Amino acid sequence: MSDWLEELRGLLPADVLVEDPDVVAAYAVDRAGQEHGTARALARVRTTEQVSTCLEVADRHGTPVVTRGAGSGLCGGANALDGCLLLSTERLDRVVELDRANRVMVVEPGVVTATIRSLAAEAGLHYPPDPGSVGFATIGGNVATNAGGLCCVKYGVTGDFVRALEVVLPSGEVVRTGHRTVKGVAGLDLTSLLVGSEGALGVITGITLGLLPAPPPAATVVATFDEFTDAGRAIAEVVAQGLVPSLLEVMDRATVTAVDRMTGMGLGEPAAMLLAQSDTTHAAEDAERLAGIFTSCGATDIAHTDDAEEGAQLMAARRLAYEALEPLGTLLVDDVCVPVDQLPGLIATIERIADEVGLTIATVGHAGDGNLHPNIVHDGHDPASVAAARRAFDAILTAALEVGGTVTGEHGVGRLKPDWVGREVGPVSARLQAGIKEVFDPHGILNPGRGLPLP
Amino acid sequence: MSDWLEELRGLLPADVLVEDPDVVAAYAVDRAGQEHGTARALARVRTTEQVSTCLEVADRHGTPVVTRGAGSGLCGGANALDGCLLLSTERLDRVVELDRANRVMVVEPGVVTATIRSLAAEAGLHYPPDPGSVGFATIGGNVATNAGGLCCVKYGVTGDFVRALEVVLPSGEVVRTGHRTVKGVAGLDLTSLLVGSEGALGVITGITLGLLPAPPPAATVVATFDEFTDAGRAIAEVVAQGLVPSLLEVMDRATVTAVDRMTGMGLGEPAAMLLAQSDTTHAAEDAERLAGIFTSCGATDIAHTDDAEEGAQLMAARRLAYEALEPLGTLLVDDVCVPVDQLPGLIATIERIADEVGLTIATVGHAGDGNLHPNIVHDGHDPASVAAARRAFDAILTAALEVGGTVTGEHGVGRLKPDWVGREVGPVSARLQAGIKEVFDPHGILNPGRGLPLP
């Protein structure tokens, strides 16, 4: 039997199939920086046909294929496996169509998410999803992980905007799922099944997105609190009063302090900072109401504006959180989501866990969704510190499950959490998921070991 | 081998297992009135355990099981098959929990959808989906068909509110899918796969719904047009101006005339009637804008109100459409969804088809979604008329596919459309769906032949 790589050399142009070990290695890891293997080659495909070629050959040889977008993932789901073919979708970057009359955009997976948002805005439309990596992440990865972001509290996640997909199967066959129309129930919802499937079922080569009308400019409110519990009460009160802000974020003391040290913004060291926006036609009124709730819950300092540029300045502290935390040490980023009324309790638990393991845990989160990202700061070169970080990571997941939450709100399973997801969903669900995997990928070549729960 | 029915007699209480042929026959057909077989028995289950018992026994004997809610389906998906067990979920009707702080409701499948809406409203919350049958349909059937309704233009369909499910598999095992939290990406999205699966993958016994804050009272605008194309332009203009009404419905002349004859409302015989609502905090302003668009597009008569009761009176014409059409003859109800800008063209095509086959086709539809229900009025006792109706039905589906639409926007596949859905999704998708069916239902006992595309 001939070698798969040799076979691909004869089928793909030289600029598509990359074997230079330095270049290949540059594509071997995502932003989580977890352990990874060594790929044999990298295919920077330009067409759906080239994807079919790669998969058909790999499937015949039983070669693992790891598909990746921009590598902005946070759970190692796109990390290389030993001997694998890395399949990069970055050059599948055409905007195929923007249909203003029907508020539909058709794109290839390599288009940067921020580009989709700005193209939509130029047409008077809105593509809400805005994961932290929106400026460099690509839509294919966003779809493959069902990425969230700051918008979700009002607008939902990536999958809520995906109407149809073009997907290549390991057989090399191309399948189209879903519908271009607003509604459609023609058979099983394969589109939703593929959204968030983390490269384990097929390779996405085309995406039809439904867009919204552009909202008015957002008004912004930022408040600081001396007691974290006050911020927790404020979040619960926003929900209880039936407000639907377009953004409702929280940062803890460790995060605010880190941002302040990096930027000199003069944020002080509050126990918590809340950031909220509204983008209705009466956003300024909404912002007044939000500010009123924050004040009544004990906010010590409040700034609000209905000017978009001033709002962006107020939001800068949140946008810079991850960059501000990175210099503190190695970050193990967790991602739990709990019922919103469980948020204050979970925050207290995280503080207790930080004390117990003796590490700083800096928490930022999409408060309105109950989705927190505790960043466990440790020394990645010190095995004892790594072990302590892992203990904290596991303790946070346990705590989230205990209050009816999930072990991943938006980052996904990747290589970090197959065991934890297995614990969350249980053996029957894990067996069904393994069965579905086998229907799509009978030889198990697509991102083996990732994205699905361990039984 | 013992008989499955004999075995079930020993396992289920007498009031659960019904064998009286008259009672069983009353459960043998849904609202589409299509052909149906004769069931051997009916199980009116009260517990998840009884569902497990039914399925485990049926699976072991290879007995087909047809699950049904209230029988409000419009494509024969719940019609009896010869020799089957009918499984009714109507008595699984507990409201398990209403969690106001997290805007979550947990229900069993037999709860009537209108009950869910009113319980939510009493708690200051909102469950939007409102299929035409909302007053008697049950939530289990709504989930199993991913039902739509009038709300979808703003709020989406049933599946957009389903967070988690409890489902019994043919093995009798119970699986829980999804998450109670706002977000969650722990493994493949089995919840979305089960939504709309029409009883072919499992039996839904528990549903966790996410709710919204209650919106303000809606303002209502009703307009009539002398030319249908003017109404079509008005719909397109609403979308183009970025308005998001909470309802945007259309009725054609045949429908308005029928409603007027039944009610004596004095509607006249306009070529088209548009009905729109807005439920934002500034609904009256929105209604003014909608009325302005309708006027500028040539509306001949406009009524609008921001009083909820007057609005309900204006809406009555739409709510009564199906009842008004039923006396005209046998109705074959179609359900196509097209890109919104294709709506005027599709309406013209439907009028042409009606002329060609010599039948009245009365069209109502969710205009804002591009989702039309042409009601083909014919004589169900006259084979020639039935054949003509079927020709019209097929011609409408062909026309919808030709302009990028789907053969079912919200009613589903049922027994009416497996062939058409197969044509829409293609053989690779059909094969994947058959494979998924086999993972959930290896012996093919669940609603065989329904809900999935024919390859």
Query: For helices A253-263 and A308-319, what crossing angle results, to 10°?
Result: 110
SS3 content of chain B, % helix, strand, coil (to 5): 40, 20, 40
B103 has a chain A CB within 8 A of its CB? yes
What are the φ and ψ backbone dihedral angles of B338, each rounded to 5 degrees? -130, 160
Please report the pLDDT score of residue B34 as a whole number. 78
pLDDT digits (tens, 9 = 90+) for B238-252: 988 989 999 999 999
Task: Tell if the CB–CB gap between B339 and A188 is shorter than 8 Å.
Answer: no
SS3 of A8-25: HHCCCCCCCEECCHHHHH
How far CA B262 is from CA of A145, B302, B322, B326, in Å, comes to 53, 22, 11, 11
| Contact present, A166 and A194 (Cβ < 8 Å) | no
- Tell me if residue B150 falls in helix, strand or coil: coil
* Bridge partners of residue B42, in order along the sequence: B18, B86
List the structure tokens of B146: 């991913």
What gap in Å lies between CA A89 and CA A62, rounded to an integer? 21
What is the SS3 assignment for A327-338? HHCEEEECCEEC
* pLDDT score, position B240: 85
Q: How many C-beta atoms lie closer than 10 Å to residue A103's C-beta?
A: 24
Q: Judge whether B133 is closer than 8 Å to chain A, CB to CB.
A: no
- The phi, psi pair for B295, rounded to 5°, reads -60, -45
Residue A299 C-alpha from the chain's centroid: 30
* Tokens, residue A262: 């990096």
The answer to whether A242 contacts B174, with C-beta atoms less than 8 Å apart, is no
Count CB-CB contacts under 10 A for residue A168: 26
Task: Tell whether B254 lies on the interface with A, counting CB pairs under 8 A.
Answer: no
* Closest-CA residue of chain B to A235: B101
Helix, strand or coil, per DSSP, at residue B179: coil
Q: Which domains does chain B have, with CATH numbers?
A: 4-88 (3.30.43.10), 95-213 (3.30.465.10), 215-320 (3.30.70.3450), 329-410 (3.30.70.2740)
Closest alpha carbon to B242 in A205, A103, A368: A103
Structure tokens at B287: 């209604």
Mean of per-residue pLDDT scores for chain B: 96
Which residues of chain B neighbour A430 with C-beta distances below 8 Å? 187
Q: B289-342, pLDDT tens digit by residue?
A: 999 999 999 999 999 998 888 888 889 889 899 899 999 999 999 999 999 999
Residues of A with CB below 8 A from B177's CB?
Answer: 425, 429
Which tens digits make up the pLDDT trace of A255-308? 999 999 999 999 999 999 999 999 998 899 999 999 999 999 999 999 999 888
SS3 per-residue string spanning B353-375 = HHHHHCCEEEEEEEHHHCEEEEE
Provide the percentage of residues in chain B whose pLDDT is more than 70: 100
| Residue numbers of B between 261 and 290 with CB closer than 8 Å to A | 280-282
Chain A closest-CA separation from residue B173 CA (Å): 8
Interface of A with B in 294-313 (CB under 8 A): none
How close does chain A come to B43, measured CA to CA in Å? 25
Residue B1 has pLDDT above 70, yes or no: no
Spatial distance between the Cα atoms of A266 and B440, rounded to a whole number of angstroms:
58
CA neighbor of B279 nearest in space, from A103, A237, A244: A244
DSSP letter (8 states) at residue B84: P
Q: A176 — contact with chain B (CB < 8 Å)?
A: yes
Q: Do A407 and B339 touch (CB under 8 A)?
A: no
Query: From the list A187, A197, A370, which residue is nearest B421 (CB)?
Result: A187
For chain B, percent of residues with pLDDT exceeding 90: 91
Strand partners, A68: A88
Q: CA neighbours within 13 Å on the CB side: how many for A399? A: 23
Please tell me the distance from the alpha carbon of residue A145 to that of residue A138, in angstroms, as a whole number.
11
- pLDDT 10s digits, B74-105: 999 999 999 999 999 999 999 999 999 999 99
* Interface mutation vs chain B, best among A99, A105, A188, most B CBs within 10 Å: A188
Better-scored residue on pLDDT, B392 or B228 = B392
- Judge whether B75 is closer than 8 Å to chain A, CB to CB: no
Is the minimum CB–CB distance between A454 and chain B shorter than 8 Å? no
Cβ contacts of B43 within 8 Å, gap of 6 or more: B8, B12, B16, B17, B18, B50, B54, B85, B86, B87, B88
Distance CA A172, CA A57 (A): 8
B124: contact with A, CB 8 A cutoff: yes
DSSP letter for A303, please: E
Letter for the amino acid at B210? G
pLDDT value at B430 more than 70: yes
Of B101, B370, B371, the CB nearest to A341: B101
If we measure between CA atoms, which residue out of A395, A253, A369 comes closest to residue A321? A253
| A172 burial type by CB count under 10 A (0-12 exposed, 13-18 middle, 19+ buried) | middle
Cα B257 from Cα B321, distance rounded (Å): 10
Mean pLDDT, to the nearest integer, of B405-413?
97
The first and second tokens of residue B15, run together, are 């009031």
Q: Pick B190's closest partner by Cβ from A212, A429, A438.
A: A429
Token code pair at residue A386: 């790594």
How do A371-378 and A330-333 pair as beta strands? antiparallel
The mean per-residue pLDDT over the stretch B170-190 comes to 97
CA distances from residue A67 to A7, A172, A400, B158, B277 in whole angstroms, order as listed: 19, 15, 30, 33, 45
**Quick one: how many helices (H) and strands (E) in chain B?**
15, 19
- The Cα–Cα gap between A158 and A147 comes to 6
- Can you list the alpha helix ranges (DSSP code H) found in B306-417? 308-319, 321-325, 343-357, 383-402
**Contact residues for A307 (Cβ-Cβ < 8 A; gap 6+):** none
Of chain A residues 32-71, which have a CB less than 8 A from chain B? none
Instruction: Give burial (CB, 10 Å; 0-12/13-18/19+) of A432.
Output: buried
A188/B195 touch (CB, cutoff 8 Å), yes or no: no
* B363 touches B347 (CB < 8 A): yes
- Are β-strands B41-44 and B17-18 bridged in parallel, bridged antiparallel, or unpaired? antiparallel
Per-position DSSP letters for A70-123, written without gaps between them: SS--SSSTT---TTPEEEE-TT---EEEEETTTTEEEE-TTSBHHHHHHHHHHT
Radius of gyration of chain B measured on its C-alpha atoms? 22
* Distance between CA atoms of residues B388 and B407, nearest Å: 19
Answer whether B185's CB lies under 8 Å from A408's CB.
yes
- Please tell me the distance from the alpha carbon of residue A422 to that of residue B315, in angstroms, as a whole number: 49
Q: Is B258 on the interface with A (CB under 8 A)?
A: no
**Interatomic CA distance for residues A377 and A442, integer angstroms:** 40
Which runs of E-coded beta strand occur in A369-416? 371-378
- B35 pLDDT more than 90: no
With beta carbons less than 8 A apart as the criterion, state whether B366 and B246 touch.
Answer: no
Is residue A50 within 8 Å of residue A95, measured between CB atoms? no
- The alpha carbon of A362 is separated from its chain's Cα centroid by a whole number of angstroms, namely 18
pLDDT score for B72: 94
What phi-psi label fits residue A351: left (phi over 0), alpha (psi between -120 and 50 degrees) or beta? Answer: alpha
Q: What is the mean pLDDT of each run of 10 residues along chain A (455 residues)?
A: 90 97 96 90 98 98 98 95 98 98 97 98 97 95 97 96 98 98 97 98 98 95 94 91 94 95 92 96 93 97 90 88 93 95 92 97 95 96 97 98 97 96 98 98 97 93
Query: What's the pLDDT score for residue A455?
Result: 83
Query: A341 and chain B: CB distance < 8 Å anywhere?
Result: yes
Q: Are A181 and B404 an interchain contact pair (Cβ–Cβ within 8 Å)? A: yes
Q: Any bridge partners for residue A67, and if so which?
A: A87
Q: Coil, helix or strand for A252?
A: strand
Q: How near does any CA of chain A get to the CA of B377, in Å?
A: 24
Structural tokens at position B117? 């809406």
* Residues whose CB is less than 8 angstroms from the CB of residue A208 and which lie 6 or more positions away in sequence, other chains included: A104, A105, A106, A162, A163, A164, A165, A178, A180
Closest Cα to residue B123, out of B164, B159, B163, B95?
B95
**Nearest Cα to B334, choosing from B257, B411, B423?**
B411
Asked if the C-beta of A202 comes within 8 angstroms of chain B's C-beta atoms, the answer is no
Q: Do A184 and B337 touch (CB under 8 A)?
A: yes
